[in-house]
Structure 1
Amino acid sequence: MAEFVHVVVPVFAAVATGLFAGLFFTFSVAVMPGLARAGDRVMIEAMQGVNVAILNPFFALVFIGAPVAVLACLVLHASVGAAAAAGWSAAALACLVAAMLITFGVNVPRNNALERVGPPERVADPAAVRGAFEGVWVRWNHLRTLFSVVGLVCAVTALTVR
């Protein structure tokens, strides 16, 4: 059973970290560039909808599950003296924590501010609302994408070293 855990947990950690990174990557290369082509009210409405839709069990499983699984890998690797794998797991965990700190420190507060403006059709100056949201949100999303992709590389590397 212990051997099974030492295989399944690292694989789950890598897959969950890949999904974690993939979410932010998708926003960087498709969602936000697509919304950049939309009108101000459409962008506000779309992001308000995304911000509600993303709060679901699948997202929670990945967003919380990836760092928890990577932490479990760190503990597993350290417990059997696999120092290199533990080191890569620690690096992966640090990257995921950095992405989460950016999320809670920058992106979520901007999402909440966007929600507080109310329905887009009632916004007096949608260009100003968009301007206060989009540029900063996108820049910080690129950074959390970078951190999470590096975290994925570290989590996968931890699978291959001992």
Structure 2
Amino acid sequence: MLMIMPLLSLLFTGAIFGFFFAWVCSTMWGLDATDPAVAIQAMQAMNASVLNLVFATVFFGTPVVLALTAFVVRAQSGTAALAFLAAALVYGLGGLVLTMAVNVPMNQALAAIPVPADPAEAKRIWTEFSGRWQFWNQIRTVASGLALLLAGWATLQL
């Protein structure tokens, strides 16, 4: 159990970092390069499809797994336990809470908008949405990457 939890922490943290990172360096760039009406429709579909058990397990489970790992390893290494706990806090605030407070409301607002037939209106909506959404996604990506680094460093301390 002592090494299973750190490995599970790395798996969960790596998965959520990879999810957010993919949006940074491919998904949003691809959507920005396409017709804005298509981008809106695609983003609406992707946001609807992410509501599934596989994603929810990693999205909500990562800080739990990290905190449980801190508890499990505390007797072997207080330093590692603190790093796992720090990773849980960094992801919990910078990934999970940020997503729920900013990205999810933006996604819900976009979902409520019918895809406009007017190309200029579609471009206006997409441009306003994309830049702001990407800014906050980059913040949660950095937070998730930092949590992954902390979990990796903590594992090396064991």
Q: TM-score range by the shorter chain?
A: over 0.9
1:35-58 deviation per Cα after TM superposition (whole angstroms, max 9, x unaligned): 110111011001001001111111
Counterpart for residue 105 of structure 2: 109
Counterpart for residue 47 of structure 1: 43
1:8 is displaced (CA, Å) by: 1.0
Q: Which amino acid aligns with 1:17?
A: T
Counterpart for residue 74 of structure 1: 70
Counterpart for residue 141 of structure 1: 137
| Count of residues paired in the alignment | 157
Q: Which runs of 5+ in 1 are unaligned?
A: none
Greater shift after overlay, 138-147 or 5-14? 5-14
| 1:95 aligned onto 2:95 | no
Answer whether contact 1:110 1:137 (CA < 8 A) is retained. Answer: yes
When normalised by structure 1's length, the TM-score is 0.90
Answer whether contact 1:48 1:114 (CA < 8 A) is retained. Answer: yes
When normalised by structure 2's length, the TM-score is 0.93
1:128 is displaced (CA, Å) by: 2.2
Answer whether contact 1:44 1:120 (CA < 8 A) is retained. Answer: no
